[in-house]
Structure 1
Amino acid sequence: MPEKEKLRIDKYLWAIRMFKTRTLASDACKAGRVKLNGTNIKPSHEVRTGETYQISKGPDRKVILVAGLLENRVDAKKAVDYYQDITPVEQTTAFKSMFHAPVLKRDRGTGRPTKRDRRETDDLKDNFFEKPEGEKEQ
């Protein structure tokens, strides 16, 4: 694929498969979910190699470093070569675990839970959000 010197951020994000359509990438830029050094950018912003962008997409937060410019959309294996995901691992796992509560499922056909089952379920839910011993509040 030939590299271009000038490339819009919405087209770049679509080409590296951060967004499914170019319109979604453009809307994310307009809504302030794509940032360059903490400042919002327009969809027409020109991408340069070496720049770092912060992208918010639903509950996911990504920090990417532009490794190369890609004009057309390619398959996912090739698209990875044109950016580096430099999102801190602590940030992603901490953010995701904050929203995931335990999902309790019962086998189909087991009937209604007994009082004992209900108490065990409530104890599990209550203890999930407590801090483990040794960690202090901030």
Structure 2
Amino acid sequence: MRIDKYLWCVRYYKTRNMVTEAAKKNHITVNGQVAKPSKEVFPGDKITFRKDQITQIIVVLDVPPNRVGAKLVDMYRKDETPPETFAHLELMKLSKEHYRKTGEGRPTKKDRRDLDEYGNEIPDPNWDS
């Protein structure tokens, strides 16, 4: 089975076109070699691909006949991605929320004025440190 079809069948990507784009950007390797979208995969192959800023590693256990349900995915692949990578992803999400909470949208005029005012504060010469 082709690598693009396999990664689509085991639900790592929503569409085959997304897999094809990732392969063209050299984000997918099979057994350590960069793979084109038409690369054939067989049971025992080790697939490494970069998605959502983490590198995932899976081993092909079997080739599915077509796209499978989410509960059946584990029959066709073994996930060897280290758990630290998922912890790192969670940490990155939390660090992004530190600057601006999710759902607050773009900064308002008042936010911009407050930022400008914060940077332009003149220190008081009478203040002793």
| TM-score (norm: length of structure 2) | 0.68
Shift of 1:57: 1.0
In structure 1, runs of 5+ residues without a counterpart are: 1-6, 106-138
% same residue: 36
Output the CA distance in 2 between the equivalents of 1:55 and 1:10: 12
SS at match of 1:44: coil
In structure 2, runs of 5+ residues without a counterpart are: 102-129
Cα displacement string for residues 25-75 of structure 1 (whole angstroms, at most 9, x for unaligned residues): 111111111112333110110101111111111223210010110131121
Output the CA distance in 1 between the equivalents of 2:81 and 2:38: 24
What RMSD in Å do the two structures reach over aligned CA positions? 2.1
**2:26 alignment counterpart:** 32
Counterpart residue type for residue 77 of structure 2: Y
Among 81, 97, 108, the alignment partner of 2:75 is 81
**1:115 alignment counterpart:** none
Q: Which has the larger radius of gyration?
A: 2
Counterpart residue type for residue 49 of structure 1: P
SS at match of 1:13: helix
Shift of 1:8: 0.3
Q: Deviating runs (4+, > 4 A) in structure 1?
A: none
| TM-score (norm: length of structure 1) | 0.64
Shift of 1:81: 1.3
Shift of 1:88: 1.1
SS at match of 1:100: helix
Once structures 1 and 2 are overlaid, which stretch shifts more, 86-95 or 29-38?
86-95
SS at match of 2:42: coil
**1:62 alignment counterpart:** 56
**2:85 alignment counterpart:** 91
Once structures 1 and 2 are overlaid, which stretch shifts more, 49-58 or 7-16?
49-58
**2:113 alignment counterpart:** none
**2:65 alignment counterpart:** 71
